[in-house]
C-alpha cells in the first residue's frame, strides 16, 4: 500500500446527530464504532493526513480519537452548520496537500478501494473535484483540489458547500466505483439498523 502524503482526509463529525437521536460517531458498528471504522478505512487507503473535525459532544469523541491516534481539530462554531466544519478542517491542512477527501463521519461502509480508485484517477488526470459514482448516483467522499481552499475560507455561501462545489461543476468528474457504501449514510435509527444488521462486517484495525 502506497502512503499518500500529498492527499488528506477531512472527517466531519461535529454535528448534533438530531435525526439519529444518538451520537452517530460513537455508535457500535461491526467490531468497533462508526468513527473508528471510518478512520480505519482512510488509513487502509494509505492516506496519511487525517483531520477529524469535532464539535458537539467533543470530549467523548476526542477520547476515542486519542486512543486510536487520529488527529482532530475543534470547531467552536459547529452550531452554525457543516460549512464551518469544512472551513476548520481545510484551515488545518499543510500547503503540501494537493487534494483532500471530504468524508462524512457517519459513512462507515465506504471501502478503502474507493479512495484508492479516486486517488489513482487524480494521479492520471487531476480535476477540481472527483466524485465516486455508483449505479447512477454520486456519493461520498469527493476528492477536492486544495486550490479551492482560499475560496472555502473566504466566504460562507448561502447554500453551503453544495453551492460552492456547484460553481465548479465543469471542473468535476464522476468516477464509477463498485461500492454501494458511498451512498450509505446513517442519518436515522432505521438506516443505522438496516446497514449495521445487513452489511456491516468486522471492521479493520484502527491501530496507527
pLDDT tens profile 124-141: 999 999 999 999 999 999
Flag whether pLDDT at 172 surpasses 70: yes
Domain membership of residue 116 (yes or no) is: yes
In a domain, 23, yes or no: yes
| Residue 179 lies in domain | 4-198
Instruction: Please answer whether residues 10 and 90 qualify as being in contact, where contact means their C-beta atoms are separated by less than 8 angstroms.
Output: yes
Residue 24: which CATH number? 3.90.550.10
What's CA 41's distance to the chain center, in Å?
10
User: What's the rounded mean pLDDT across residues 167-194?
Assistant: 92
pLDDT tens for each residue of 38-77: 999 999 999 999 999 999 999 999 999 999 999 999 999 9
Task: Characterize the bridge pairing of strands 47-54 and 32-33.
Answer: unpaired
- Of 137, 131, 128, nearest to 167 by C-alpha is 128
Reported pTM = 0.91
Answer yes or no: is 184 within a domain: yes
The C-alpha torsion from 140 through 141 and 146 to 150, rounded to 10°, is 50
207 in a structural domain: no
Residue 204 lies in a domain: no
Using the predicted structure, report yes or no on whether residue 96 has a pLDDT greater than 90: yes
Q: Looking at the predicted structure, is the pLDDT value of residue 208 above 50?
A: no
> Residue 62 gets which letter from DSSP?
H
Whether residue 16 is contained in a domain is answered as yes
Number of structural domains (the chain) is: 1
Q: Is residue 142 part of a domain?
A: yes
State how beta strands 4-13 and 47-54 pair. Answer: parallel
Amino acid at each position: 500500500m502506497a502512503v499518500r502524503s500529498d492527499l488528506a482526509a477531512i472527517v466531519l463529525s461535529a454535528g448534533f446527530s438530531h435525526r439519529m437521536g444518538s451520537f452517530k460517531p460513537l455508535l457500535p458498528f461491526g467490531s468497533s464504532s462508526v468513527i473508528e471504522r471510518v478512520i480505519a478505512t482512510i488509513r487502509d487507503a494509505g492516506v496519511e493526513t487525517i483531520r477529524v473535525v469535532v464539535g458537539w459532544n467533543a470530549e467523548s469523541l476526542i477520547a476515542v480519537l486519542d486512543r486510536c491516534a487520529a488527529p482532530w481539530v475543534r470547531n467552536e462554531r459547529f452550531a452554525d452548520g457543516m460549512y464551518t466544519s469544512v472551513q476548520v478542517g481545510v484551515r488545518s491542512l499543510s500547503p503540501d496537500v494537493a487534494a483532500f477527501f471530504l468524508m462524512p463521519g457517519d459513512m462507515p461502509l465506504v471501502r478503502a478501494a474507493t479512495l484508492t480508485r479516486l486517488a489513482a484517477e487524480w494521479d492520471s488526470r487531476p480535476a477540481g473535484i472527483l466524485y465516486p459514482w455508483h449505479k447512477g448516483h454520486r456519493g461520498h467522499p469527493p476528492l477536492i483540489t486544495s486550490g479551492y481552499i482560499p475560496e472555502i475560507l473566504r466566504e460562507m455561501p448561502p447554500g453551503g458547500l453544495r453551492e460552492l462545489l456547484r460553481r465548479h461543476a465543469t471542473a468535476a468528474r464522476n468516477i464509477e466505483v463498485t461500492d454501494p457504501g458511498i451512498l450509505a449514510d446513517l442519518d436515522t435509527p432505521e438506516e443505522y439498523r438496516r446497514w449495521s444488521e445487513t452489511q456491516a462486517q468486522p471492521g479493520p484495525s484502527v491501530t496507527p
